[in-house]
């Protein structure tokens, strides 16, 4: 599995997770969409195990953006939790070689980002894909 095919497979797997927009690569705009998944590559590594045998590892990041209501972040936080769980479940079901690696939201909660003049909560989830070649 290449990085490009991994991103495409992840995008397809997330199509039923309830996102309003799923994009590969960094978008210029979210177009006012409330719940957005952005899929990017997060690096690759190759270990040479023998002369003709290698172990390729790719990392894919799914950045989940949930629009915050003007009244506060509790609803956005609950939605972020639901999208996080749905994303991990969808990708777990995709392939046994794609494993959850980490999520970057710490104890302080997911950071806020202003995009297109709207506030979003953001959480990034990194998955590792191992291919025996």
- Domains (range + CATH), the chain: 3-132 (3.30.70.1700)
Whole-number Å distance between alpha carbons of 7 and 106: 25
Predicted pLDDT at 6: 85
Res. 126: pLDDT tops 60: yes
Whole-number Å distance between alpha carbons of 61 and 126: 4
Mean pLDDT value across the chain = 83
In whole angstroms, how far apart are CA 76 and each of 13, 22, 56? Answer: 23, 18, 36
Residue 58 exposed, middle or buried by CB count within 10 Å (0-12, 13-18, 19+): buried
| Span 51-62, average pLDDT | 79
| Span 39-68, average pLDDT | 81
Res. 4: pLDDT tops 80: yes
Predicted pLDDT at 50: 72
Q: Which residue has the higher pLDDT, 57 or 13?
A: 13
- The HSE-up count of residue 50 (CA atoms within 13 Å, CB side) is 4
Predicted pLDDT at 133: 46
* Whether this model's pTM surpasses 0.85: no
Predicted pLDDT at 108: 57
Work out the angle at residue 52's Cα, subtended by the Cα atoms of residues 61 and 50, and round it to the nearest 5 degrees.
Answer: 85
Predicted pLDDT at 112: 80
User: Any idea how long the chain is?
Assistant: 133
Predicted pLDDT at 109: 60
Could you give phi then psi for residue 82, rounded to 5 degrees? -65, -45
pLDDT digits (tens, 9 = 90+) for 60-105: 899 999 988 765 667 888 888 899 999 989 988 887 778 777 776 5
């Amino acid at each position: 599995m290449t990085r490009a095919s991994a991103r495409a497979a992840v995008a397809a797997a997330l199509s039923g997770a309830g996102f309003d927009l799923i994009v590969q690569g960094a978008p210029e705009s979210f177009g006012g969409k409330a719940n957005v998944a952005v899929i990017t590559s997060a690096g690759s590594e190759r270990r040479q195990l023998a002369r003709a045998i290698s172990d390729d590892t790719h990392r894919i990041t799914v950045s989940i953006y949930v629009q915050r209501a003007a009244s506060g972040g509790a609803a956005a936080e609950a939605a972020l939790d639901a999208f996080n769980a749905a994303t991990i479940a969808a990708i777990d079901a995709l392939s046994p070689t794609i494993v959850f690696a980490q999520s970057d939201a710490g104890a302080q909660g997911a950071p806020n980002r202003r995009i297109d003049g709207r506030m979003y909560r953001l959480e990034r989830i990194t998955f590792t894909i191992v291919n025996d070649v």
